[in-house]
Amino acid sequence: MTGNSLTFGYLIIVNRLKISLLLNPHKLMATFNLLLDTRVVKKNNQYNLSIRANIGTKQLYIHISKMTKEQYHQIFVKKTMDKQSIDFRKKCSDLVTKSENIYNEMHPFDPKRFRQLVLGKDETAPENSLLLHNLFNRFTDSQTNLKQRTIDHFNYSRSVFHKYKPDLNVLDLDSKFISQFVKYRLDSGVSLSAVNSSLRDLRRVINYFSNEECIIPKTYKYPFGKGGFSIQNFFPRKLVMSNEEIKSVIELDDFESKEQEYARDIWVMLYRCNGINFVDLFRMRWDNIKGDYLIFFRKKTETTRKNNVKEIVVPITADLKKLIEKIGVRNSPYILGKLADGYSESSFENKNHKLKKILNKELSVISEKLNLSVPLRLKNARDSYASTLRRAKVSKDDIGDMLGHSNSIVTEHYLASIDMETTFDINKHLL
């Protein structure tokens, strides 16, 4: 930048300041900047992402989101270029500019009113600010730690409610409405678990705008919980393969392509690794192997459990060792060799989704070839692992430990349907 341009820029700033002081002779000078407020740590090692207004000798913090130090570094320091990060940076920059403009136009300055206007919490805001589909959109826009599949899930739930009743205001949403909605969805052939999933998204949105953003009036009658609609835990009965069917998958040696064989190998590895979820195998590194054991933490429990995160220990049997050597990629830090160090979560989600789709397609062909009673999918390797142990009379507690469950209730979810094939034997005793 040349000296002349610097001078010109300085003159513009000075002139703006002069105009501001002429219009507001008693207004204090103010600066605004975006920062991670590390004074107080929140849940899951998150901090407030805030706009700090330095007004004279005083400071005013406006919290606009929450994130970890790592997330802040990725988005604002390293400046990752995925669409979600770019959009969020722009949103934050726009809020800083908005703060400056609101401050300059406010006479006299009212901190409470200022905060409301910056965050869009103006008490005189129009009715459409409480439209349910708008709240869903605002929720996903405000959460920086949501995975793409979670965002997609919220978007789907939003569309479901919008289709049922367009322009639904959250103030009209009570327990009676929810009961009617549930009946409508069930009558349409939607499973109870799918209905409950949408209700949990709805509850999360309502809680956020009631307790965090505080734009839903306190007079609003909360539709869930005591005295309201109760979302019941529902565990659908699982269909599981017999031991003979599992063995046929493991011993299959007639494949139509290398891709098909690879899909089968991945399924067997999931099965032999304590029924590991594919997302955890995808992230698995060579340094997770400690001697004769594969040791890791489930990604799912890292985010869903505050405490009691269990270490999963997989003994590397001869069969598992042979399989690792077959499909492992030694010139990569990751066993499957599909990731590189420093990958972004958005990149991971994209690769994970694409690979799962390819693998499940090949597994479907294998299902038909072997005439399996249950469609072969990556996810039922976990069920197959649990069912094998159950049939071998392994205790429920031991199965739960191997699966990494926090309590026996979750294990029951896996085992409740395992003995379906024995029900005929049991009822033979009837008179």
What tens digit of pLDDT does each residue of 235-268 get? 566 677 888 999 999 999 999 999 999 999 999 9
Q: How confident is the model at residue 422 (pLDDT cuts 50, 70, 90)?
A: low
Token look-up 């919008």 returns: 162
Question: Do residues 354 and 293 lie in contact, with contact meaning Cβ atoms separated by under 8 Å?
Answer: no
**Token pair 């809020």 in the structure block, residue:** 95
pLDDT of residue 10: 41
pLDDT recorded at residue 300: 62
Higher pLDDT, 323 or 219: 323
Position 304 scores a pLDDT of 45
On the 0-12 / 13-18 / 19+ scale of CB atoms within 10 A, 345 is: middle
User: Please, which pLDDT band fits residue 395 given cuts at 50, 70 and 90?
Assistant: confident
Residue limits of CATH 1.10.150.130 in the chain:
127-212
β-bridge partners, 54: 31, 59
Which regions of the chain carry the CATH code 1.10.443.10? Answer: 243-427
Q: What is the DSSP string of 15-57?
A: HHHHHHHHH-TTPPPEEEEEEEETTS--GGG-EEEEEEEEETT
Which run of H or of E encompasses 250? helix 243-251
Give me 83's structure tokens. Answer: 């669409």
- Close Cβ partners of 251 (under 8 Å, ≥ 6 residues apart): none
HSE-CB of 72 using CA atoms within 13 angstroms: 16
Greater confidence (243 vs 126) lies with: 243
Q: How far is CA 22 from the centre of its chain?
A: 51
Length of the chain: 431
Label residue 382 by pLDDT band (50, 70, 90): confident
What integer pLDDT is reported at residue 236 of this predicted model?
60
- The mean predicted confidence, pLDDT, of the chain is 81
Cα(36)–Cα(42) distance, rounded to whole angstroms? Answer: 12
Q: What share of the chain is helix, strand, coil (3-state, %, to 5)?
A: 55, 10, 35
Q: What pLDDT does 123 receive?
A: 44
CA gap 340, 353 in Å, rounded? 17
User: What is the average per-residue pLDDT within 311-330?
Assistant: 91
Q: Which helix (H) or strand (E) covers residue 312, if one does?
A: strand 311-315
pLDDT tens-digit series, residues 297-315: 877 655 444 455 678 888 8
Mean pLDDT of all residues in 392-404 = 76
C-beta separation of 385 from 269 below 8 A: no
Which residues does 146 contact at the CB level (< 8 Å), separation at least 6? Answer: 140, 154
Q: Provide the pLDDT for residue 194.
A: 87
- Quick one: what percent of the chain has pLDDT higher than 70? 81
User: How confident is the model over 33-44, as a mean pLDDT?
Assistant: 86
pLDDT at 7: 44
Answer CATH for 127-212 from 3.30.450.20, 1.10.3720.10, 1.10.150.130, 3.10.110.10: 1.10.150.130
- Secondary structure class of 59 (helix, strand, coil): strand
Q: What's the token pair of residue 208?
A: 């956020």
Q: What is the pLDDT of residue 102?
A: 85
285 Cβ contact list (under 8 Å, min separation 6)? 333, 334, 335
Give the Cβ contact number of residue 106 at 10 Å: 15
Q: How far apart are CA 174 and CA 152, in angstroms?
A: 25
Q: Which of 55-59, 133-137, 277-281 has the lowest mean pLDDT?
A: 55-59
What would the mean pLDDT of 198-210 be, rounded to a whole number? 92
Distance (Å, whole) CA 304 – CA 308? 11
The pLDDT of 25-37, averaged and rounded, is 79
pLDDT band at 15 (very low <50, low <70, confident <90, very high): very low
Task: Give the up-direction half-sphere exposure of residue 274: CA atoms within 13 A in the CB hemisphere.
Answer: 22
pLDDT of residue 1: 45
3-state secondary structure of 285: strand
Output the pTM of the full model.
Answer: 0.52
Task: Give the best-scoring range by mean pLDDT among 62-66, 104-108, 112-116.
Answer: 62-66
How would residue 2 be classed by pLDDT, with cut points 50, 70 and 90?
Answer: very low
pLDDT class of 346 with cuts at 50, 70, 90 = confident
Question: How many Å apart are CA 175 and CA 183, to the nearest integer?
Answer: 12
Q: Do residues 16 and 37 make contact, with C-beta atoms less than 8 angstroms apart?
A: no
Answer yes or no: is pLDDT of 358 > 80: yes
Q: State the CATH architecture for 243-427.
A: Orthogonal Bundle (1.10)
297: part of which helix (H) or strand (E)?
strand 293-297
Query: Is pLDDT of 87 > 80?
Result: yes
pLDDT score, position 190: 86
Q: What is the pLDDT of residue 309?
A: 63
Structure tokens at 329: 């990629």
Preceding amide of 108 cis, omega within 30: yes
pLDDT band at 286 (very low <50, low <70, confident <90, very high): very high
pLDDT-based confidence at 21, cuts 50/70/90? very low
**Angle, to 10 degrees, between the axis of helix 132-142 and the axis of helix 148-164?**
170
| Closest by Cα among 58, 56, 118 to 92 | 118
More confident residue, 370 or 150: 370
Average pLDDT over residues 352-372: 93
Question: CA-to-CA distance for 171 and 131, rounded, in angstroms?
Answer: 9
Report the alpha-carbon distance of residue 222 to residue 215 in Å, rounded: 14
Backbone angles phi, psi at 48, to 5 degrees: -75, 130
More confident of the two residues 402 and 123: 402
List alpha helices for 106-147, DSSP H: 111-119, 132-142
